[in-house]
Structure formats: structure tokens, C-alpha cells
Amino acid sequence: MKRDFFEGKVIVITGASSGIGLASARLFASFGARLSLAARSIDRLQAEAEKMSSASDILCVRTDVSVEADCRNLIERTVEKFGRIDILVNNAGVSMRAMFRDLDLSVIKTLMDVNFWGTVYCTKYALPYLLESKGSVVGVISIAGFAGLPGRTGYSSSKYAIRGFLDTLRIEHLYDGLHVMVFAPGFTASNVRNAALTADGSAQGKTPRDEGRMMTAEKCAEYLARGLAGKRSEMILTPIGKLTVLMHNILPRLTDRLEFSYMAKEPDSPFHRK
């Protein structure tokens, strides 16, 4: 791990009050980075920031990434305090669990607003500073951004959209020194499944999966740091995640059937084989 790579770097992290965002903030703080942390839960964000390394400068900004003005404010306040931006980690996100036929369309709009548009808004306002610093922009997506997951139409759509957006941004700035990374964890232990939206837009409140058997958010943050230090353009985590993406490219119809069977085994699955 190139700890010195992060020392003094100004890093913006959205969705930083829990899960991968919080674990990444703690890790980068321990490396001596200067952090601009964004989340809707400002009290929780500030409480978590106080527990981090006192040697690290930390700015907490209440941010709803689905609101363009909030994203602009986040970037402006970051530059006002630190004078630059070296890394933007677009991590804020929300999930869902329901069959499309049962789904209120407002759920998909919410997921696109948070996951996709949140990434677009923050990247748009941070881009001039990232180009100046020859920095990095990261989008935390999912294996669902490579292979559609049944019961997650809105989630998969938003993650595919982020990947397409960032892949195109990379090509546009191929010779400008901008580093663009698509970061795709597999199932990671976090509260994202507890807060996942159901068919009517309410939070499901509990996870349908065994969180104890998943990669921890802390381990995921370590991989994120390695990807940033190594200037990786794409990272796909976990053996099952890598296998799913590989098989989706080689044997897509077989992968469809395997995914269906795998996801249908979840407790209270919204679908099953007739």
C-alpha cells in the first residue's frame, strides 16, 4: 500500500457517513489525507469525523447528491477550505429490491437521481480542479453495473449508467492526465441493503443476505486505495464478482439463468421460478 501517495491529498467522498464511504474516509485519514466528507446525515458525519486521525484536516458538508446545488456547494466549500481537489470518490448510493412489474416508477427515479445524477453533478463541478491537479475521479458501482441483477432493475440501470458515463469521460480526457476509475465491489457488508427501497419506495429495513460472510467495508476501502495509487481504470472485486462479469461476456444466456437461480434463493425473494 502506497501510504505516502495519499499524504496531503485532498479527497472528496460522498456517502461518507457509513459503509464503504466511512471506511475509506478512516483509511485515507490514517494516511494523512485532507478530507471533504459528504452525507445527508451531518450529525452522524461529524461524530464519525471526530473519531478519525486528528492529524488530518476534515471538512464535513451536509449533501444530498440528488440536488445539484448541494453538489456544487460541496465542491465550492472544499476548494474554499483546501484550495484544490485531488480525488473525488462518488460513493453515495441507494439500492432497491422489487420486480419491475410491481415497482412504482418513482423508485427508479430516486435511484437514478442519487446514484447516477449524484455522480454526474459532483464530477461536473469537481472536474476543473481535478484536471488542474491531474487527479482522480472514482465511481463506486457494483457487479450490477456489468450484469443485470433480477429484482434490481433501477439499481442495475443506474450502475450501468455510471460506468458508461465514466468510461466516456476517461476517453475524453485520455491525454489530459485525468485518472478515471470504475470501482465495482461485490456484495459488501454495509447498511445499503437495510436502506434498499421496496416496490412502493419504503425502505426494506433488513438485509436478506448474510452480511457476516461478505467482504467488509474496511477491506473494500483497502482495494479502493490500491486502485487509486495504481491508477487503475477498473477494479472488480470478489471471486464471484469477477466470475460473473467474465461469464456474462462469454456465456451471457447461461449467466442469466445462474443469476436468476442465485438471487431467487434470497429470503422473501420477489421472484421465483414457476
- Tell me the one-letter amino acid at 71: C
DSSP of 73-117, one letter per residue?
HHHHHHHHHHS---EEEE-----B-B-GGG--HHHHHHHIIIIII
What is the CB neighbour count within 10 angstroms for residue 76? 12
Which residue matches cell numbers 481537489?
A: 85
Q: How confident is the model over 203-259, as pLDDT tens digits? A: 865 655 555 567 899 999 999 999 999 999 999 998 888 988 898 899 989 888 988
pLDDT of amino acid 193: 46
Burial class (CB in 10 A: 0-12, 13-18, 19+), 30: middle
In tens digits, the chain (274 residues) has pLDDT values of 577 899 999 999 999 999 999 999 999 999 999 999 999 999 999 999 999 866 569 999 999 999 999 999 999 999 999 999 999 999 999 999 999 999 999 999 999 999 999 999 999 999 999 999 999 999 999 999 999 889 999 999 999 999 999 999 999 999 999 999 999 997 765 555 457 888 877 786 565 555 556 789 999 999 999 999 999 999 999 888 898 889 889 998 988 898 888 888 877 778 766 5
pLDDT of amino acid 212: 55
* Per-domain residue ranges of the chain: 3-240
Task: Return left, alpha or beta for 251; rule: phi > 0 is left, psi -120 to 50 is alpha, else beta.
Answer: beta
pLDDT of amino acid 91: 98
Determine the CATH number of domain 3-240.
3.40.50.720
Q: Are 152 and 97 in contact (CB under 8 A)?
A: yes
pLDDT of amino acid 208: 55
Q: Which residues contact 33 (CB under 8 A, 6 or more apart)?
A: 6, 7, 8, 9, 10, 11, 56
Residue 99 Cα to chain centre, angstroms: 23
Q: Are 205 and 193 in contact (CB under 8 A)?
A: no
DSSP annotation of 247: H
Three-state secondary-structure class, residue 34: strand
Predicted structure pTM score: 0.90
| Residue 37 CA neighbour count, 13 Å, CB half | 32
pLDDT of amino acid 214: 73
In the set 121, 125, 129, 155, the catalytic residue is 155
Q: In what order do the strands lie in the sheet with 179-184?
A: 58-62, 34-39, 10-14, 87-90, 136-140, 179-184, 234-236
Concerning whether 262 is annotated as a catalytic residue, the answer is no
pLDDT of amino acid 186: 78
